[in-house]
A and B are shown apart, each in its own frame.
Chain A
Amino acid sequence: MNPNNLLLTTDFPFDMGGYVQEFTYTIPNSPDFSSASYLPIPHGLNFSPLCTGIFTDDDWNTSFDFGSSPMFSNPNFGGQWGQRLVSTVESDINNVYINVFNGDTSRQMKFRIIGFPPSDFTGEAISTNATGINGFILNSDRNYMKLLDADKVTANPPNTGVPLIVPINHGLNYVPHALIWTTIGGLTRQAGLENYIGVGGIDVEPILKTQVINVSLSAFITTSVDVHWRIYLDD
Chain B
Amino acid sequence: MTKINSFIESSDFATLRNDDNDSFTVVVPGSVSVAAGAHLTYTNDLEVGTKATSARVKIQSSRAPGDWYITSRGFNRTGTLSGSPFGYTLYVNYYRISATKMRAEVSISNPYGSTLVTQSGAETFTFSVRTMILPFEQTA
Interface residues in chain A, defined as those with a beta carbon under 8 Å from any beta carbon in chain B: 7-8, 14-18, 20, 22, 52-54, 56, 59-65, 67-71, 73, 79-81, 83, 112, 114, 125, 127-130, 132-145, 175, 177-180, 190-193, 205-210, 234-235
Docked CA distance A125–B56 (Å): 26
Contact A138 B15 (CB under 8 A): yes
Tell me if B29 counts as interface (CB < 8 A to partner A). Answer: no
The total of interchain contacts (Cβ-Cβ below 8 angstroms) comes to 193
Contact A62 B139 (CB under 8 A): no
Interface of A is mostly: loop
Residues from chain B with Cβ under 8 Å of A16 in the complex: 11, 13-15
Q: Chain B 55-91, CB within 8 Å of chain A: the 1/0 string? A: 1111000000011111111000000000000000001
Contact B70 A180 (CB under 8 A): yes
Interface footprint category on B: 35 or more
Tell me if B93 counts as interface (CB < 8 A to partner A). Answer: yes
Contact A137 B111 (CB under 8 A): no
Contact A128 B97 (CB under 8 A): no
Contact A179 B56 (CB under 8 A): yes
* Chain A nearest Cβ from B29, distance in angstroms: 18
Contact A60 B52 (CB under 8 A): yes
Given known A-B contacts A56-B52, A114-B16, A71 and B41 have beta carbons under 8 A apart:
yes
Q: Chain B 4-39, CB within 8 Å of chain A: the 1/0 string? A: 001111111111111000000000000000000101
Contact B9 A134 (CB under 8 A): no
